């Protein structure tokens, strides 16, 4: 199973924020869209970072709620790790576990075509395991 099969089941729109958005803006987007992270795009559409709810919580814990008016570009993670549509779901799970983040932008031909989360990956792996168990059951019953 590939990342492309996960993207097929998700709405075909990329939620992102611009580099000039404030942390309060990002918190509002994460809440409204019920997601945990967003890619940060420059004016030319290029992805220049990623910011997750964890970054916002950490920053507030360190410096207080005043940071909410600061721009996202001062707080995002700039070296973003991406995956590709043809990557296996198992490899993205291993990558997220090893690097300790829960979100991966999906890049194809230099363009971000979607985002997957650890939740999407775990859901897909459970569905695959259930399907495999079902076929084994059928095979045993039918002989």
Binding site for ligand AMP (CB under 6 A): 36-37, 50-52, 54-55, 77, 80-81, 101-104
Asked if 15 contacts 41 with a C-beta cutoff of 8 angstroms, the reply is: no
Indicate the residue among 103 and 124 with the shorter CB distance to ligand AMP. Answer: 103
- Residue nearer to ligand AMP on the CB measure, 51 or 124: 51
Q: State which residue, 32 or 142, has the beta carbon closest to ligand AMP.
A: 32
Shortest spacing between CB 39 and ligand AMP, in angstroms: 9
Q: How far is the CB of 133 from ligand AMP (least distance, A)?
A: 30
Both tokens assigned to 85: 């549509």
What is d(CA 130, CA 23) in angstroms, rounded to the nearest whole number?
40
Q: Provide the minimum distance between the beta carbon of 121 and ligand AMP in the complex, in angstroms, as a whole number.
A: 12
Sign of torsion, CA 5 27 46 13? positive
The helix-helix angle for 53-63 and 23-33 (nearest 10°) equals 140
Residue that has been written with the tokens 């990558």 in this structure: 95
Shortest approach of ligand AMP to residue 127 CB, angstroms?
A: 22
Our CB check for ligand AMP shows the closer of 98 and 138 to be 98
CB 40 within 8 A of CB 18: yes
Q: How far is the CB of 92 from ligand AMP (least distance, A)?
A: 10
Residue 93 · residue 122 · CB < 8 Å: yes
Task: Point out the residue whose Cβ comes nearest to ligand AMP.
Answer: 52
Place of tokens 């459970």: 126
Q: Smaller CB distance to ligand AMP: residue 80 or 124?
A: 80
């Amino acid at each position: 199973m590939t990342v492309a099969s996960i993207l097929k089941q998700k709405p075909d729109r990329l939620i992102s924020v611009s580099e000039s958005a404030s942390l309060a803006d990002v918190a509002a987007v994460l809440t409204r869209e019920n997601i945990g992270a967003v890619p940060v795009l420059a004016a030319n559409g290029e992805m220049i970072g990623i910011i997750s709810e964890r970054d916002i919580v950490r920053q507030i814990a360190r410096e207080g709620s005043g940071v909410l008016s600061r721009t996202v570009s001062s707080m995002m993670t700039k070296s973003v790790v991406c995956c590709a549509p043809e990557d296996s779901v198992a490899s993205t799970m291993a990558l997220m576990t090893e690097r300790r983040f829960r979100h991966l932008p999906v890049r194809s031909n230099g363009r971000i075509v979607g985002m997957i989360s650890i939740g999407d990956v775990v859901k897909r792996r459970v569905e695959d395991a259930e399907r495999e168990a079902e076929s084994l059951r059928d095979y045993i019953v039918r002989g």
